[in-house]
Structure 1
Amino acid sequence: MLSLRSVNQFYGQQHILWDVDLDLPAGSCTGVIGRPGMGKTTLVNCIMGHLPVNSGSMVWQEEHGQPQDLLGLPVEKRAVLGIGYVPQTRPLFSQLSVEENLQVALLAGVEAARHPAIPPMVYDLFPALWSLRHTRSGELPISQQQQVALARALVLMPKLLILDEPTGGMSPWLEEEMGNLIHRLNHEFGMTILLLEQQPSFIRRVADYFLLLHRGRNVAHGRVAQLDDSMIDTWLTV
């Protein structure tokens, strides 16, 4: 579905990403893991088009479709292509209701006319939001604001969903719920998931593949069963 080859990115003279390769097979869940400041969010910002790529390639190809150069598309076209993104900060329009936040996301898609209403699966996944749909999002507790942010990314039914640190600041119970949700999106709805995380245990639980970033380099990658304790001790232990 998405293939990155030899991606390099600079902030001024500072080299942030070094020849990063990444493959996201359709229907898979891939975890990008690394300590803070190792390039995870920069990588996603490059995929989304928020940051320029200095060299390398990003190719999007759906089953039976023609390959497309992702680097040639502006940010809004990448969303329409089928890429949904929930950033770590989970920004919402705090003065708008839950439903208004979701409607704004619908309008972001050129093909929004195909989705005249919020897809039923959104309220199926987040049933608590139905009774809160007329409540201002800024009045909700953090856990429900996170649900709104996730729901907003899902209203356009993305083919690839990118989640940046989805368990950040969560209690163990909420972390368990997040894992269940990711598993359901991946297995029941067939979404391809790219997950940025610091916790190896969470990656091991929900992902099929992993990529380990250290100072902007992919120092290890493979099936998640290969993410062993020695690798974690070497690259992730502070």
Structure 2
Amino acid sequence: MLSLRSINQFYGQNHILWDVDLDLSPGTCTGVVGSTGMGKTTLVNCIMGHLPINSGSITWQEGNLPPLDLLHQPVERRAALGIGYVPQGRQIFSQLSVEDNLHIALLSGAGEARQRGIPPMVFELFPLIWSLRHRRSGDLSLDEQQQLALARALVLQPRLLILDEPVEGMSPWLEEEMGNLIHRLNHDFGLTILLLEQRISFIRKVADYFLLLHRGRGVARGEVAQLNESMVDTWLTTQSTG
């Protein structure tokens, strides 16, 4: 579905990503693991087109269709292709209503998506969002804002959903609820999920595969069962210097 090869990215003179490889197969959940400042969000910004890469390739392919060079696709086109993104911090339009936030998300889709409107599955997954649809988004609780951010990403019915630190600041109870939701999206709705996260316990609960980033390099990868304590001690207890 999505394949990254030898991705290198610079910020000014600073080399941020070093020859990063990543493969996402349809229907899987992959966790990109790393401490703060190790390149997780930069990697996703490259996928979404918010940051240019200096070398490497990003390829998108669906079913038996020919592979598509994602680097030649504008930012707005990537959402229309079927890539949903929930950024760190949610970034909802706080002055607008919940319903307005959802309709704005529809505008980034193709004409067919706009005509269909908000899919019923959004309100099936988030019944609270329906009851709050006329509420100003900035007045929502942290959990409600996170639900809105997810609902907004799902209105275009993506095939790949990217979540950046989805349980940041959440209580253990809310973290459990988020884990159940991600599991449902992945297993019941068949979404491919790319999850950026620092909490190893959460990755182990929901992901099938992992990529461990340290200072912009992919230092370990594999099935999530292989993400052992030795790797955690070696790579995730080291503090970022950048």
Listed one character per residue, the Cα deviations across residues 143-170 of structure 1 (whole Å, up to 9, x for unaligned) are 1011111100000000100000001000
Once the 2 structures are TM-superposed, how far is the Cα of residue 142 of structure 1 from its aligned partner?
Answer: 1.6
What secondary structure sits across from 2:175 in the alignment? helix
1:214 matched residue in structure 2:
214
2:99 is the alignment partner of 1:99? yes
1:110 partner amino acid: A
2:120 is the alignment partner of 1:120? yes
Q: Judging changes above 3 Å, is the alpha-carbon distance between structure 1 residues 203 and 67 closer, same or farther for their aligned structure 2 residues? A: same
Q: Judging changes above 3 Å, is the alpha-carbon distance between structure 1 residues 219 and 227 closer, same or farther for their aligned structure 2 residues? A: same
Listed one character per residue, the Cα deviations across residues 32-53 of structure 1 (whole Å, up to 9, x for unaligned) are 0000000000000000000001
1:80 matched residue in structure 2:
80
1:152 matched residue in structure 2:
152
Moved more, 110-119 or 68-77: 110-119
Moved more, 112-121 or 126-135: 112-121
Counterparts of 2:15 and 2:112 in 1: how far apart (Å)? 38
Q: Judging changes above 3 Å, is the alpha-carbon distance between structure 1 residues 113 and 219 closer, same or farther for their aligned structure 2 residues? A: closer
Counterparts of 1:105 and 1:150 in 2: how far apart (Å)? 11
Counterparts of residues 37-52 of structure 1 (less than 5 Å): 37-52=37-52
TM-score with structure 1 setting the length: 0.98
Kindly, what percent of the aligned residue pairs are identical?
Answer: 75
Counterparts of 1:54 and 1:45 in 2: how far apart (Å)? 13
Contact 1:106 1:112 in 2 (8 A): no
Instruction: Give the ranges of 4+ consecutive aligned residues of structure 1 lying more than 6 Å apart after TM superposition.
Output: none
1:63 matched residue in structure 2:
63
Counterparts of 1:226 and 1:112 in 2: how far apart (Å)? 42
Counterparts of 2:112 and 2:162 in 1: how far apart (Å)? 20
1:234 partner amino acid: T
Once the 2 structures are TM-superposed, how far is the Cα of residue 140 of structure 1 from its aligned partner?
Answer: 1.1
| Gapped regions of structure 1 (runs ≥ 5) | none
TM-score with structure 2 setting the length: 0.96
| Gapped regions of structure 2 (runs ≥ 5) | none
1:135 matched residue in structure 2:
135
Contact 2:113 2:156 in 1 (8 A): no
Counterparts of residues 149-188 of structure 1 (less than 5 Å): 149-188=149-188
The CA RMSD over aligned residues, in Å, is: 1.0
2:195 matched residue in structure 1:
195
Counterparts of 1:18 and 1:36 in 2: how far apart (Å)? 17
Counterparts of 1:130 and 1:233 in 2: how far apart (Å)? 44
Once the 2 structures are TM-superposed, how far is the Cα of residue 112 of structure 1 from its aligned partner?
Answer: 4.3
2:12 is the alignment partner of 1:12? yes
Count of residues paired in the alignment = 238
1:30 matched residue in structure 2:
30
Counterparts of 1:113 and 1:160 in 2: how far apart (Å)? 16
2:2 is the alignment partner of 1:2? yes
Contact 2:106 2:114 in 1 (8 A): no
